[in-house]
């Protein structure tokens, strides 16, 4: 058994409320992701999925427990873990190219090597013609593509994605899912993917963790044994896909009901 | 819900507005006293009016007087022009200035003359006005300080061109001299006393006593008010006289009242009071038909020289002794 | 088959729709019409003698005063002296407000340190500081810069603090994942992101500085727009007062416009929200 790329061990997280009390967001949660695995985390709203991602990124502190990357405890954010947020977070004053290049600032690579990587990733996400555009000239989907390219350009050990396509319309979302599959096929970076879209999770992932309602724990783990490479249209009507979908949905459904009544 | 809250708020506002209004309604008396609005400034030369207010002399003479504060003489101009002011206390040169601007006013009373209450102070090493050559002199343009400075310079065959003028408000002129940032300052009480209290070595180069009447104050009424209420104007003169009598007979109390009104204490103003000479009605009868006519010409000439106006107006038309004669 | 054109509503009936854009000529025309109306009222009030000359001078006499001041080079002296004072005073304020505002916006420690003092002094009228500034700095230009500084700095530093605080948190967070240190983030990310807001703060605060001109030139000024107005007040030269106010207004408009233009040039990447 190889060392997991990402290991979350008995994580607890509580937040202070305005009234001075503590609310427990995550309770004794453990999960692991093997190298080159694409793992999704699904669950009802407010279950703490984003919080977990932030802790894995090192942008939030655990109240208790451990998170390890390649066996080493993490102590803060770093270039070994790339992040893509729902809100793109591109630098508006930089062009697409400069945005991606920015991620290589601390890489120590030569100028030529940086150029190579940047150009490669621009083409990878299909924005070759827009390398000189500014974010305010791009659509939502294009901006997210830049965010993905930027998160991949410095070759992080893990890519953490927090509902990256949540803010996009249905058609764009479809295209982005296809793009992500394509991009991921190329170098198979280890991915932790947060979403509330069950079909998206099944389409993209090797495994799916289902979280309970708050305080979040792992309710169940589903292995997605659909063959790769996968395509959006192939999964339509696929029997196994439908079965998996039903399985995950029923797991979430009861948790979602619990979350509503909280 | 919104409409109800709005109506409620509106009622509150109306009630507040109403209470503000009713606070100003004067209680009616048997014979209606004549309302008169008098513009004034916190200057001890206008002191007797506050004695009058304190001692009920206005009511005694059938007047309902309101003393309205101004910061600058020239602001009275707008008040007169809009008919908002019936009477005012002004420096003589300001009265001439407004008159030359076509403001309908008449001088009916000479109130006071400054002797030591307007002065030129200087650093210890400056001995005389001629020593001011090339020196920085702080003073308030267009004010009595301006008149005094120019007169003093003229008397010494100098002009503003010979000194380094540093225009600023009279209060700041005193401060600037105390802080040793200028060589000399022209100012008036209480800033003179304040400056001398801080630095006893300051030299008094010149004061208004060198030409009595140059710096003086008059009481003016609008031509309209004079025409329509000659008896009220007569009453005002009587009030002044009675206040003057009180001042002479009860100097301590009188000074205390005036000091409070200008925002100071009698101790701080002790030298100020000594620097001003008041005129009662009897003295007025002599002055307004005699010496003052000459004085006002001199004031006009100096005012002309500092370009306060373009030409001297008809000074005889400015003074009205019709009521005084009675 | 050709389609019949869709009947458009008359343009004028759409002038008062909530948040609805109107044709440019109506937009500009409305503003121009209002100003023309005011000037017309001014002309009428003075030529018909409704308001006496000592209260409100006629546009013609203000114009004549303008010509006189130009011919005697008074206007040029006043404008350059005032421009000089405002520029230096405002620059002093800005040079201090930017670093302190940035510190306050990024570190709660500095916010806690400075905010009480800034909030307190912010409400103090600048004119009350005149005697103190004479004491500390004399009656030269330094004193005038000080008054302008006092009037501008305390507001400016708070505005800049807000500009910095408005930088989205996730921009900072994502920068940490690239391995940048907090000082690198401050310089490369926060400052760049806050710059448009800071530039606008410059525009606004320079506008305020204009309004402090009269107070700044109250003491020991022999030239200057503010000085000219105060003197005209004492001498009851109402044309000069009106002219002075108009000149200051126009100059303020010009500096405002220059900032707006440069904003568009410097920050074409800003997302304009309607």
Q: List the A158-162 sheet strands across, edge first.
A: A81-84, A158-162, A190-194, A38-42, A207-211, A218-223
Nearest chain C CA: its distance from A69 CA (Å): 14
CATH assignment at residue B194: 3.40.190.10
Query: What is the pLDDT, as a whole number, of residue C195?
Result: 96
Q: Are residues B229 and B184 in the same domain?
A: no
Q: Are residues B137 and B180 in the same domain?
A: yes
Task: Identify the architecture of domain C59-266 in CATH.
Answer: Orthogonal Bundle (1.10)
The reply to whether C170 touches chain A by the CB within 8 Å rule is: yes
Query: What is the pLDDT, as a whole number, of residue B288?
Result: 84
* CA C211 to each of CA B162, B167, C89, C203: distance values in angstroms, whole numbers, following the listed order: 34, 20, 13, 13
Q: From B163, B182, B210, give the residue that closes a domain.
A: B210
List the single best residue of C234, C237, C239, C241 to mutate versus B (max B Cβ within 10 A): C234
Domain ranges in chain C? Answer: 23-54, 59-266
The reply to whether B308 touches chain C by the CB within 8 Å rule is: yes
Burial C70-104, CB ≥16 within 10 A → b, else e: eeeeebebbbebbeebbebbbebbbeebbebbbbb
ipTM, two decimals, is 0.90
Q: What is the mean pLDDT of residues A232-242?
A: 82
Would strands B136-139 and B184-188 be described as parallel, antiparallel, or unpaired?
Answer: parallel
Q: From B145, B177, B210, give the residue that closes a domain.
A: B210
Q: How many CB pairs under 8 A join A and C?
A: 62
Q: What is the mean pLDDT of residues A105-121?
A: 92
pTM, two decimal places:
0.80
Query: What is the pLDDT, as a whole number, of residue C101?
Result: 96
Residues of B in contact with C134 (CB under 8 A): 172, 175-176, 179, 181
Q: From B192, B210, B228, give the residue that closes a domain.
A: B210
Q: Are residues B92 and B223 in the same domain?
A: yes
Query: What is the pLDDT, as a whole number, of residue B89?
Result: 92
Answer yes or no: do A79 and C179 touch at CB < 8 A. yes
The reply to whether B101 touches chain C by the CB within 8 Å rule is: yes
How many folded domains does chain B comprise? 2
Task: Give Cβ neighbours of residue C189 (< 8 Å, ≥ 6 apart).
Answer: A91, C167, C171, C172, C175, C180
Domain A1-37+45-75+192-262, CATH class in plain words: alpha beta
| Of the partner residues C173, C178, C270, the one whose CB lies closest to the CB of residue A92 | C270
List the single best residue of C74, C134, C228 to mutate versus B (max B Cβ within 10 A): C134
Residue-wise pLDDT for A131-147, tens only, equals 999 999 999 899 999 99
Answer yes or no: do C235 and B78 touch at CB < 8 A. no
Query: What is the pLDDT, as a whole number, of residue B9?
Result: 74
> Per-residue confidence of chain B (326 residues) as pLDDT tens digits?
677 777 777 887 777 766 655 555 545 545 688 899 999 888 888 999 999 999 999 999 999 999 988 877 777 777 776 778 899 999 999 899 889 888 888 999 999 999 999 999 999 999 999 999 999 999 999 889 999 999 999 999 999 999 999 999 988 998 899 889 999 999 988 788 888 888 889 999 999 999 888 999 999 999 889 999 889 999 999 999 999 999 999 999 999 999 888 877 888 788 888 889 999 888 888 888 888 888 899 899 999 988 888 889 988 888 888 887 65
The answer to whether position B255 is within a domain reads: yes
Contact of chains A and C by CB distance (3 or more pairs under 8 angstroms):
yes
The answer to whether position B166 is within a domain reads: yes
CB-based burial label for B17 (10 Å; 0-12, 13-18, 19+): exposed
| Of the partner residues A81, A91, A134, the one whose CB lies closest to the CB of residue C177 | A81
Site of tokens 């009507």: A237
Answer yes or no: do C234 and B102 touch at CB < 8 A. no
| Domain limits for position B39 | 34-113+213-318
Residues of B in contact with C53 (CB under 8 A): 102
Is residue B214 within 8 A of residue B302, CB to CB? The reply is: yes
Hey, which chains touch B, using 3+ CB pairs under 8 Å? C
Assess whether pLDDT exceeds 90 at residue A32.
yes
Answer yes or no: do A89 and C192 touch at CB < 8 A. no
Residue-wise pLDDT for A159-207, tens only, equals 999 999 998 999 999 999 999 998 998 889 999 999 989 999 999 999 9
Contact of chains B and A by CB distance (3 or more pairs under 8 angstroms):
no
Is the bond preceding residue A215 a cis peptide, omega within 30 degrees? yes
- Residues A26 and A15: their CA atoms lie apart, in Å, by 10
Confidence bin at A237 (pLDDT 50/70/90): confident
Q: What is the mean pLDDT of residues A213-227?
A: 90
Walk along chain C (274 residues) in steps of 10 and give the mean pLDDT of each run. 61 74 86 93 87 80 93 93 96 96 95 95 90 87 94 96 94 93 94 96 95 90 91 85 94 94 92 56
3-state helix, strand and coil shares in percent for chain A, rounded to the nearest 5: 40, 25, 40
Strands (DSSP E) found in chain A: 6-16, 22-33, 38-42, 64-69, 72-73, 81-84, 158-162, 190-194, 207-211, 218-223
List the single best residue of C46, C50, C52 to mutate versus B (max B Cβ within 10 A): C52
Radius of gyration of chain C (CA): 24
Query: What is the pLDDT, as a whole number, of residue A206?
Result: 94
Contact of chains C and B by CB distance (3 or more pairs under 8 angstroms):
yes
């Amino acid at each position: 058994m190889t060392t997991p790329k990402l290991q979350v061990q008995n994580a607890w997280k509580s937040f202070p409320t305005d009234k001075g009390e503590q609310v427990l967001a995550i309770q004794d949660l453990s999960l692991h992701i093997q190298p080159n695995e694409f793992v999704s985390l699904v669950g009802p709203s407010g279950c703490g999925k984003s919080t977990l991602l932030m802790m894995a990124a090192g942008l939030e502190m655990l109240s208790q427990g451990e998170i390890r990357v390649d066996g080493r405890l993490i102590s803060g954010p770093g270039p070994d873990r790339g992040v893509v947020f729902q809100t793109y977070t591109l630098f508006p004053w930089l062009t697409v190219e400069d945005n991606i290049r920015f991620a290589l600032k601390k890489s120590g690579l030569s100028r030529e090597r940086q150029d190579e990587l940047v150009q490669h990733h621009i083409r990878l996400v299909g924005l070759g013609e827009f390398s000189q555009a500014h974010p305010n000239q791009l659509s939502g989907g294009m901006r997210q593509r830049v965010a993905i390219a930027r998160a991949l350009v410095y070759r992080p050990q893990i890519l953490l994605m927090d509902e990256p396509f949540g803010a996009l319309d249905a058609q764009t979302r479809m295209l982005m899912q296809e793009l992500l599959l394509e991009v991921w096929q190329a170098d198979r970076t280890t991915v932790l993917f947060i979403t509330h879209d069950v079909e998206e999770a099944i389409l993209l992932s090797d495994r799916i963790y289902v979280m309970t309602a708050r305080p979040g724990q792992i309710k169940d783990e589903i292995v997605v044994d659909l063959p790769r490479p996968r395509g959006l249209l192939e999964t339509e009507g696929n029997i196994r896909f439908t079965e998996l979908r039903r399985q995950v949905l029923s797991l979430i459904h009861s948790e979602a009901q619990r979350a509503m009544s909280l | 819900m919104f409409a109800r809250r709005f109506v409620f708020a509106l009622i509150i506002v109306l009630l507040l507005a109403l209470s503000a209004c009713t606070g100003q309604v004067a209680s009616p008396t048997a014979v209606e006293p004549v309302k008169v609005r008098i513009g004034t400034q916190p200057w001890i030369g206008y002191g007797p009016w506050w004695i009058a207010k304190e001692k009920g002399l206005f009511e005694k003479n059938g007047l309902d007087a309101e003393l309205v504060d101004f910061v600058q003489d020239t602001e009275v101009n707008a008040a007169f022009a809009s008919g908002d002011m019936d009477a005012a206390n002004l420096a003589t040169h300001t009265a001439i200035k407004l008159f030359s601007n076509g403001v309908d006013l008449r001088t009916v009373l000479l109130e006071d003359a400054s002797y030591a209450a307007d002065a030129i102070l200087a650093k210890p090493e400056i001995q005389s006005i001629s020593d001011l050559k090339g020196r920085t002199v702080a003073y308030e343009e267009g004010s009595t300080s301006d008149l005094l400075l120019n007169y003093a310079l003229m008397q010494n065959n100098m002009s503003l061109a010979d000194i380094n003028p540093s225009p600023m408000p009279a209060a700041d002129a005193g401060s600037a001299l105390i802080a040793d940032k200028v060589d000399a300052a022209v100012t008036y009480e209480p800033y003179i006393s304040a400056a001398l209290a801080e630095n006893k070595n300051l030299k008094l180069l010149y004061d208004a006593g060198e030409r009595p009447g140059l710096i003086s104050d008059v009481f003016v009424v609008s031509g309209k008010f004079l025409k329509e209420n000659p008896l009220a104007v007569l009453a005002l003169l009587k009030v002044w006289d009675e206040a003057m009598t009180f001042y002479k007979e009860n100097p301590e109390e009188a000074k205390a009242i005036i000091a409070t009104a200008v925002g100071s204490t009698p101790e701080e103003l002790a030298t100020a009071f000594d620097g001003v000479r008041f005129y009662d009605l009897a003295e007025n009868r002599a002055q307004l038909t005699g010496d003052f006519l000459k004085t006002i010409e001199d004031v006009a000439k100096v005012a002309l020289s500092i370009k306060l106006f373009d030409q001297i107006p008809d000074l005889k038309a400015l003074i009205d002794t019709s009521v005084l004669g009675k | 088959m050709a389609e019949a054109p869709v009947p458009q509503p008359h343009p004028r009936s759409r002038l008062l729709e909530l948040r609805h854009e109107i044709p440019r000529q109506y937009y500009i025309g409305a503003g121009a019409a209002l100003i023309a109306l005011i000037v017309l009222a001014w002309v009428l009030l003075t030529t018909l003698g409704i308001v006496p000359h000592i209260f409100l001078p006629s546009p013609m006499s203000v114009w004549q005063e303008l010509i006189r001041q130009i011919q005697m080079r008074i206007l040029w002296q006043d404008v350059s002296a005032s421009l000089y004072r405002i520029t230096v005073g405002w620059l002093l304020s800005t040079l201090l407000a930017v670093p302190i505002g940035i510190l306050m916006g990024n570190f709660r420690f500095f916010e806690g340190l400075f905010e009480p003092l800034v909030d307190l002094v912010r409400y103090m009228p600048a004119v009350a500081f005149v005697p103190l500034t004479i004491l500390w700095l004399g009656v030269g230009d330094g004193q005038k810069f000080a008054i302008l500084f006092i009037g501008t700095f305390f507001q400016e530093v708070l505005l800049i603090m807000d500009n910095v605080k408005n930088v989205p948190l996730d921009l900072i967070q994502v920068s940490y994942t690239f391995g940048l240190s907090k000082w690198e983030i401050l310089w490369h990310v926060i400052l760049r992101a806050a710059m448009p807001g800071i530039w606008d703060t410059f525009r606004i605060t320079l506008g305020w500085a204009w309004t402090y001109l009269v107070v700044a030139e109250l003491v020991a000024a022999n030239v200057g727009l503010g000085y000219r107005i105060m003197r005209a007040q004492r001498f009851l030269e109402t044309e000069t007062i009106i002219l002075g106010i108009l000149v200051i207004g126009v100059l303020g408009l010009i500096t405002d416009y220059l900032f707006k233009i440069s904003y568009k040039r410097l920050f074409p990447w800003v997302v304009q929200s309607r």
